[in-house]
């Protein structure tokens, strides 16, 4: 009887020890999770330009921190700087308005174009729990570099069409519509690809199709440069380059 009692207490103590060990392990894991704290400072951005801006962290192709309307301001938490020499870098993308003329009726249509001033990359050393103010300047027009291009397709057929790329349907840039009515023009911003920019030597665009009720027609391949608009015409059976195929965009 005494042996049974002894073994019972030994077993009970072992169970208690295992339970305490599990709890301690769980607690340590929980603490480790709580220790993964991102240190931040507070930055207030003032957009002193006349354009809407997109603020990227690090490079121009870096993640978007926030967007600000012209004259707007906003305070955000920003992670502390890894490099206390240069500090954190904020790259500014300006969104400018452009006017596009619909050649079928002379209608003025507006769209936005992305432009960069290579000189507007702002460095600031961000320390934990400190506050900072960053002013975004008005860019010099001669310094702005467009990083958008457009394709315009005039519908000279009596049925509407849609623009597709490998099964993906495009929306028009200025109005968000998919279908382009007869005798109207579809205006589209060209996609930038995985690299997020059209290279300085241009980018080849191909495999685009104009699709209507009874036909699907290939758009001739073309190489696009930033800051330009490329014009095509659709007549129901073919898509061809317009007589004035390439236009330089005027933005403001």
Which sign does the torsion angle of CA 139, 145, 149, 154 carry? positive
| Domain 148-248 grouped into CATH 1.10.10 | no
Q: Tell me whether strands 228-234 and 150-155 are parallel, antiparallel or unpaired.
A: parallel
* 125's tokens: 């050393």
Supply the DSSP string of the chain, one letter for each residue: -HHHHHHHHHHHHHHHHHHHHHHHHHHHHHHHHHT-PPPEEEEEEEE-SSSEEEEEESSTTS-EEEEE-TT-EEEEEEEPPS-TTT-EEEEEEEEEEEEEEETTTTEEEEEEEEEEEEEEEEEE---TT-EEEEEEPPPPGGG-EE---EEEEEE-SSS-BEEEETTEEPPPTTT--S-B-TT-EEEEEPP-TTTTS--TT-EEE--EEEE-SS-EEEPPPEEE-TTEEEEEEE-SS-EEEEEEEEEE--B-
Kindly report whether the global pTM for this prediction surpasses the value 0.85: no
Question: Of 207, 204, 210, whose CA–CA distance to 179 is shortest?
Answer: 210
Q: Which CATH number fits domain 40-145: 2.60.40, 2.40.128, 1.10.1660, 1.20.140?
A: 2.60.40
Distance between CA atoms of residues 134 and 41, nearest Å: 13
Please compute Rg for the chain using Cα positions: 29
pLDDT score recorded for residue 76: 94
pLDDT tens for 88-107 read 999 999 998 887 766 665 66
Burial class (CB in 10 A: 0-12, 13-18, 19+), 158: exposed
Interval 186-204 mean pLDDT: 82
pLDDT at residue 60 greater than cutoff 60: yes
Domain boundaries, the chain: 40-145, 148-248
Interval 30-59 mean pLDDT: 83
Mean pLDDT, the chain, integer? 83
Confidence of residue 252 (pLDDT cuts 50, 70, 90): low
Say if 40-145 and 148-248 have the same CATH topology.
Answer: yes
Which sign does the torsion angle of CA 8, 9, 12, 18 carry? negative
User: Of 6-10, 112-116, 142-146, 156-160, where does the model show the most confidence?
Assistant: 156-160
pLDDT score recorded for residue 7: 52
pLDDT tens for 122-178 read 999 999 899 999 999 999 888 888 888 999 999 999 999 999 998 899 999 888 899
Interval 196-200 mean pLDDT: 77
Question: Of 102, 124, 117, whose CA–CA distance to 172 is shortest?
Answer: 102
């Amino acid at each position: 009887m005494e042996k049974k009692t002894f073994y019972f207490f030994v077993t009970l103590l072992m169970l208690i020890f295992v339970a305490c060990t599990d709890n301690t392990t769980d607690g340590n894991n929980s603490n480790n999770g709580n220790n993964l704290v991102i240190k931040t400072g507070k930055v207030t951005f003032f957009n002193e330009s006349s354009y809407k801006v997109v603020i990227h962290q690090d490079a121009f192709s870096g993640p978007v921190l926030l967007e600000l309307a012209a004259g707007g301001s906003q305070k955000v938490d920003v992670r502390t700087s890894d490099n206390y020499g240069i500090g954190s870098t904020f790259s500014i993308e300006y969104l400018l308005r452009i006017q596009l003329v619909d050649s079928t009726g002379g209608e003025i249509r507006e769209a936005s174009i992305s432009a960069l001033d290579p000189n507007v990359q702002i460095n600031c050393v961000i320390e934990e729990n400190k506050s900072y103010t960053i002013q975004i300047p008005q860019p010099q027009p001669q310094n702005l570099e467009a990083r958008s291009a457009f394709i315009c397709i005039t519908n000279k057929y009596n049925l509407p069409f849609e623009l597709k790329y490998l099964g993906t349907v495009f929306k028009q840039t200025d109005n968000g519509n998919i279908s382009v009515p007869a005798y109207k023009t579809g205006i589209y911003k060209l996609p930038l690809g995985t690299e997020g920019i059209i290279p300085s030597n241009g980018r080849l665009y191909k495999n685009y199709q104009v699709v209507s009720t009874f036909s699907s027609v290939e758009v001739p391949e073309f190489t696009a440069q930033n800051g330009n608009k490329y014009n095509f015409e659709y007549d129901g059976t073919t898509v061809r380059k317009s007589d004035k195929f390439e236009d330089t965009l005027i933005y403001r």
